[in-house]
Amino acid sequence: MNEELSVSYITMPQGFKANGVSAGMKCPDPANINNDDPKSSYLDVGMVYSDKLCNVAGVYTSNLVKGHSLVRSMGIIEGTGKAKGIIVNSKVANAGVGAVGIEDADRVAECASSLLGCDKSEILTASTGVIGTRLPLDKITSAIPSLVHGLSVAEECAHNAEYAMMTTDTVPKEVSAQIELTDGKTVTISGMAKGSGMIHPNLATMICIFTTDCGIESASLKKMLQKAVKYTFNRVSVDGDTSVCDMVVVMANGASGVSVTEGTEDYQIVEDALCKLSEDIARMLAADGEGATKFVEIEVHGAKDEKDAKLIVTSVARSPLCKTAFFGEDANIGRILTAVGYSGASFDPEKVDIRLSGLLMYKDGAAVAFDEDEASRLLAEHDIKVDITLYEGDAYDRMFTCDFSYDYVKINGSYRT
Amino acid sequence: MNEELSVSYITMPQGFKANGVSAGMKCPDPANINNDDPKSSYLDVGMVYSDKLCNVAGVYTSNLVKGHSLVRSMGIIEGTGKAKGIIVNSKVANAGVGAVGIEDADRVAECASSLLGCDKSEILTASTGVIGTRLPLDKITSAIPSLVHGLSVAEECAHNAEYAMMTTDTVPKEVSAQIELTDGKTVTISGMAKGSGMIHPNLATMICIFTTDCGIESASLKKMLQKAVKYTFNRVSVDGDTSVCDMVVVMANGASGVSVTEGTEDYQIVEDALCKLSEDIARMLAADGEGATKFVEIEVHGAKDEKDAKLIVTSVARSPLCKTAFFGEDANIGRILTAVGYSGASFDPEKVDIRLSGLLMYKDGAAVAFDEDEASRLLAEHDIKVDITLYEGDAYDRMFTCDFSYDYVKINGSYRT
Per-residue pLDDT, averaged over B270-293, amounts to 88
Nearest chain A residue (CA) to B129:
A334
SS3 A164: helix
Q: Do residues B120 and B76 touch, judged by C-beta distance below 8 A?
A: no
Active-site choice (A205, A212, A232, A401): A205
For residue range A335-350, what is the model confidence (pLDDT) as tens digits?
898 889 888 899 998 8
Are A117 and A176 within one domain?
Answer: yes
The per-residue pLDDT for range A225-239, each reduced to its tens digit, is: 999 988 888 887 765
CB contact under 8 A, B337 and A244: yes
- The residue with greater pLDDT, A235 or A398, is A398
User: Are A190 and A174 within 8 A, CB to CB?
Assistant: yes
Average pLDDT over residues B174-188: 93
**CATH for A25:** 3.60.70.12
User: Are B142 and B11 in a shared domain?
Assistant: yes
| Measured CA distances, A218 to A191, A250, A251, A252, A260 (Å) | 18, 10, 10, 9, 12
- Identify whether the C-beta of residue B18 lies closer than 8 Å to the C-beta of residue B10: yes
Residue B234 pLDDT > 90? no
Question: Looking at the structure, do residues A408 and A352 belong to the same domain, yes or no?
Answer: yes
A333, pLDDT greater than 90: no
Q: Is A388 on the interface with B (CB under 8 A)?
A: no
Out of A250, A268, A287, a domain closes at: A287
On whether both A238 and A315 belong to a single domain, the answer is: no
CB A305 within 8 A of CB A197: no
Contacts of B321 in chain A (CB under 8 A): 197-198, 239, 241, 412
Give mean pLDDT, residues A256-279. 94
Give the H/E segment covering residue B276: helix B265-287
**Residue B16: burial class (beta carbons within 10 Å; 0-12, 13-18, 19+):** buried
Asked if residue B116 has pLDDT above 90, the reply is yes
Residue type at position A8: S
**CA–CA distance, A376 with B295 (Å, rounded to integer):** 36
Average pLDDT over residues B294-300: 94
| Inter-residue contact B193 to B210 (CB < 8 Å) | no
Q: Which of A119-128, B71-80, B101-110, B245-254 shows the lowest per-residue confidence on average (mean pLDDT)?
A: B245-254
Quote the mean pLDDT of chain A: 89
Residue B309: is its pLDDT beyond 70?
yes
Residues A30 and A128 in one domain: yes
Are residue A254 and residue A299 in the same domain, yes or no?
A: no
How close A222 comes to chain B (CA, Å)?
Answer: 24
Identity of the highest mean pLDDT range in A183-187, A314-318, B231-235, B277-281: A183-187
Q: How far apart are CA B403 and CA B326, in angstroms?
A: 6
Range of the domain at B7: 3-287
DSSP B296-357: EEEEEEEESSHHHHHHHHHHHHH-HHHHHHHHTT---HHHHHHHHHTSS----TTSEEEEET
More confident residue, A416 or A137: A137
Question: Inter-axis angle of helices A320-327 and A306-318, to 10 degrees?
Answer: 60
Put simply, the answer to whether B241 touches A335 (Cβ < 8 Å) is yes
A64 contacts B338? CB cut-off 8 A:
no
- pLDDT score at B289: 81
Tell me B243's DSSP state. Answer: P
Does the annotation mark B170 as catalytic?
Answer: no
The alpha-carbon gap from A197 to the nearest alpha carbon of chain B, in Å, equals 8
Judgement on whether residues A229 and A134 belong to the same structural domain of the protein: yes
Separation in Å, CA of B106 to nearest CA in chain A: 18
User: Across the A/B interface, how many CB contacts are shorter than 8 Å?
Assistant: 221
| CA–CA separation, A125 and A56 (whole Å) | 13
A195 shares a domain with A315: no
Of B362, B358, B299, B294, the C-alpha closest to B328 is B294
DSSP B14: T
Shared-domain flag, residues B234 and B358: no
Closest CA to A238 of B180, B257, B306, B320: B320
**How distant, in Å, are the alpha carbons of A25, B49, B51, B122 from that of B118?**
74, 11, 9, 7
A324 touches chain B (CB under 8 A): yes
The pLDDT score that the predictor gives to residue A203 is 36
CA distance B16 to B118: 15
Task: Report the pLDDT value the prediction gives residue A243, as an integer from 0 to 100.
Answer: 58
Model pLDDT for residues A352-391, shown as the tens digit of each residue: 999 999 999 999 888 899 998 999 999 999 999 999 999 9
Q: List the one residue out of B73, B77, B75, B43 whose CA is nearest residue B57.
A: B77
Q: Which of A97, A104, A238, A335 to mutate to test the interface with B (most CBs of B within 10 A)?
A: A335
Question: The CATH number of the domain where B385 resides is what?
Answer: 3.10.20.340
- Nearest alpha-carbon partner for B370 in A28, A100, A416, A89: A416
d(CA B401, CA A315): 19
Burial of residue A30 (CB within 10 Å: 0-12, 13-18, 19+) is: exposed
Q: Quick check: B246 pLDDT over 80?
A: no
Residue B68 has pLDDT above 50, yes or no: yes
Contact residues on chain A for B303, CB-CB shorter than 8 A: none
Residues B104 and B118: their CA atoms lie apart, in Å, by: 18
Show Cβ contacts of residue B184 under 8 Å, excluding neighbours closer than 6 positions: none
Q: Is B261 exposed, middle or buried (0-12, 13-18, 19+ CB in 10 A)?
A: exposed
Q: How far does the CA of residue A13 sit from the closest CA of chain B (Å)?
A: 35
- Segment A90-117 shows an average pLDDT of 94
Amino acid at A202: N
The reply to whether A156 touches chain B by the CB within 8 Å rule is: no
- In chain A, what is the greatest distance between 2 CA atoms, to the nearest angstrom? 69
Predicted local confidence at residue A285, as pLDDT:
85
Residues B319, B386, single domain; the answer is: yes
DSSP assigned state of A1: -
Interface with chain B: mutation pick from A60, A61, A62, A64, highest number of B CBs within 10 Å: A64
Q: Please give the pLDDT value at position B272.
A: 93
Burial class (CB in 10 A: 0-12, 13-18, 19+), B32: exposed
Name the domain boundary from B246, B265, B287. Answer: B287
Q: How far is B401 from chain A (nearest CA, A)?
A: 14
Q: Which residues of B82-97 are buried (b: 16+ CB within 10 A; e: fewer)?
A: bbbbbbbbbbbbbbbb
Helix H, strand E, coil C: the string for A10-72 is: CCCCCCEEEEEECCCCCCCCHHHCCCCCCHHHCCCEEEEEEEEEEEEEEEECCCCCCCHHHHH
Q: Are A403 and A324 in contact (CB under 8 A)?
A: yes
Residue B158 above 80 pLDDT?
A: yes
Partnered with residue A37 across adjacent β-strands are none
> Of the residues B228, B252, B287, which one is the last residue of a structural domain?
B287
- Does ipTM surpass 0.95 in this model? no
Is residue B240 pLDDT above 70, yes or no?
A: no
Average pLDDT, chain B: 89
Which residue(s) pair with B192 in the sheet?
B174, B209
Pairing status of strand A395-402 against strand A236-237? parallel
Residue in chain A lying closest to B92 (CA): A334
Residue from A342, A352, A361, A407 whose CB has the most chain B CBs within 10 Å, to mutate: A342
Same domain? B216 vs B316: no
Q: Is A96 within 8 Å of B367 when comparing Cβ atoms?
A: yes
Q: How many domains does chain A have?
A: 2
Q: Are residues A344 and A375 in the same domain?
A: yes
Distance between CA B349 and CA B390 in Å, rounded? 9
> Are A244 and B406 in contact (CB < 8 Å)?
no
pLDDT band at A414 (very low <50, low <70, confident <90, very high): low
